[in-house]
Amino acid sequence: MTTAPLWGWDEIVAGAGGTADGGAPQGAIAGLSLDSRGIAAGEVFVALKDQRDGHEFVTVAFERGASAALVRQDYARRAGDGPLIRVGETLEGLCGIARAARARLRDDAGVVAVTGSVGKTSTKEMLRACLMRLGPTHAPEKSFNNHWGVPLTLARMPASTCFGVLEIGMNHAGEITLLSKLSRPHVAIITTVEPVHIEHFSSIEGIADAKAEIIAGIEPGGVVVLNRDNPLFERLAAAARAAGIDVVSFGEHAQANVRLVKCDLKTDHTDIEAECGNGRIVYSIAAPGRHMAQNSAAVIAAIEALGQDFESTIHAIGALATFGAPTGRGAREKISRGGGTILLVDESYNANPASMRAALAALALVPRMEYARRIAVLGDMLELGEASRDLHAGLSEAIANAGIDLVFAAGPHMKSLYDRVDPLRRGLWAETSAGLKDALSGAVMAGDAVMVKGSFGSRMGPLVEALRAGASGVVHS
Ligand SMILES: Nc1ncnc2c1ncn2[C@@H]1O[C@H](COP(=O)(O)OP(=O)(O)OP(=O)(O)O)[C@@H](O)[C@H]1O
Ligand SMILES: [Mg+2]
């Protein structure tokens, strides 16, 4: 099967608002890449300025098979360079291509943008899995949700896409407006509003208002999907009403439009019944935890808001029966050690008070009959500003409620939590995650359920690796 080229040469040059230098590429344009190391043959290399200036790597990108490069006007062509698209600023050029990609979608295509304090990637991956059942779906790699991740995702979107899914994140007020206007979603989801990245905001209301910026880019007649259980719901709904955008809500709240009426939380999946606009949907989701059930309700709301009928919505949601939590965001594996099994829960990708509570609650669902001991390995939650100490210490109740038997903690912020843990349940505190490695490996044994979580910068991932390395194998169930 031959796939259509992603872009024609004239089309991409016009989209970028640039001028062509060097004639059309010989082969088809297969994609776009920001990283010369990972570039695939036929892709356009976009020379962005980030930690390094991408212009240093243009020639290397051509050596590796780039079909063309998007460069600044003043870039001096070097030997070995192929076709160039010259623009004022490369990020602007990329945004131009993104706008063109969005504009060329068919009229009946649907675009969903996901923002929120937590659960964006999880919800985005659920949408991808579900919408794929209904038509060609395009969604970002990883967590591509920032000033370059969103335009790159759009620029990579094939013209034949039926469903586009975007993740939109932010650290500061104002960021989401730009990215939402670029994406022009028909449906936007705000998963929830929590004290995350709070060091850049004076209040939780400020965070809610920044999330509400997503409304600014919604297409006329579009819908915003809001969490009815979140205390900031009314504030967000008022912002939508002021902009003339319809609200569809989800959650356990009696007035939620998509209401979770039953959530049977099991160790490795959840059985759910949701009452929605068109009737009741009974489904299950292979990613455990109430938070994942909440995300799935947002997904149902979005699919209905895209205009899908009841049958199609049920068919799409059926995909969640095999949806496991993404890597680093609750992905579970069973590893064998000492003649028994350890359940390893990898939550090492990020952490904030909301997702810590969600992860601890999910660990509490693991039956003692299967795994007698629950171990939490926790790294600092970053970017919490002045409230950091209290927000860390405030997790002690969640730890007790989840019946955690042993706590390992790393980092200066986690110290305030560790000091509040029952002394009988203390494993070890260390300044850095590396300082926990030996003690943790020595302590973990067959029959343990171990959950490792911290902000990415707290480097908890290597502890997951160390536990895996100490195993005698992976158990396939
Ligand atoms: N609705 C939710 N409520 C609380 N925690 C959640 C929710 N959904 C996912 N999580 C947990 O939050 C963590 C981050 O999840 P995810 O990567 O989906 O969020 P994100 O918003 O994309 O984060 P980032 O801002 O890093 O892109 C994971 O540990 C995940 O299990
Ligand atoms: Mg993400």
pLDDT in tens, 153-195: 999 999 999 999 999 998 888 899 999 999 999 999 999 999 8
How many other C-beta atoms lie within 10 A of the C-beta of residue 324?
A: 18
Cβ–ligand 1 contact at 455 (below 6 Å):
no
Q: Which of 223, 123, 209 is nearest to 173 (CA)?
A: 209
pLDDT-derived band at 267, boundaries 50, 70, 90: confident
Q: Does residue 192 line the site of ligand 1, with CB under 6 A?
A: yes
191 Cβ closer than 6 Å to some ligand 1 atom: yes
Assign 215 to helix, strand or coil: helix
Look up the CATH architecture of domain 9-95.
3-Layer(aba) Sandwich (3.40)
Average pLDDT over the chain reads 95
Q: Does residue 124's CB lie within 6 angstroms of at least one atom of ligand 1?
A: no
Decide whether any atom of ligand 1 lies within 6 Å of the 143 Cβ: yes
In this predicted structure, the answer to whether residue 2 has a pLDDT above a threshold of 70 is: no
Q: Is the four-CA dihedral 251, 252, 257, 263 of positive or negative sign?
A: positive
Res 467 pLDDT > 80: yes
**What was the pLDDT predicted at 476?**
52
Domain 331-475 -> CATH class:
alpha beta
Domain formed by 105-322, architecture:
3-Layer(aba) Sandwich (3.40)
Give whole-number Cα distances, 258 to 103, 226, 279, 281, 453, in Å.
31, 10, 10, 10, 30
Q: What is the mean pLDDT of residues 219-246?
A: 98
DSSP states of 223-257: EEEEETTSTTHHHHHHHHHHTT-EEEEEESSTT-S
Ligand 1 atom closest to 123 (CA): 18
Q: Which tens digit of pLDDT belongs to each residue from 273-329?
A: 999 988 999 999 999 999 999 999 999 999 999 999 999 999 999 999 999 998 899
Identify which ligand lies nearest to the alpha carbon of 362.
1
Ligand nearest to the CA of 351: 1
pLDDT, tens only, 121-154:
999 999 999 999 999 999 998 889 999 999 999 9
pLDDT score, position 430: 98
Q: How far is CA 295 from CA 64, 119, 320, 433, in A?
A: 40, 7, 11, 30
The rounded Å distance from CA 295 to ligand 1 centre is: 10
Dihedral, CA atoms, 278, 283, 289, 292, nearest 10 degrees?
A: -50
- Comparing 177-181, 197-201, 458-462, the range with the smallest average pLDDT is 197-201
Q: What separation in Å is there between the alpha carbon of 114 and the centre of ligand 2?
A: 10
**Helix, strand, or coil (residue 54):** helix
Backbone angles phi, psi at 141, to 5 degrees: -70, 155
pLDDT in tens, 315-373: 999 999 999 998 899 999 999 988 899 999 999 999 999 999 999 999 999 999 999 99
d(Cα 25, Cα 84) in Å, to the nearest integer? 9
- In tens, the pLDDT along 80-107 reads 999 999 999 999 999 999 999 999 999 9
**Domain-by-domain residue ranges, the chain?**
9-95, 105-322, 331-475
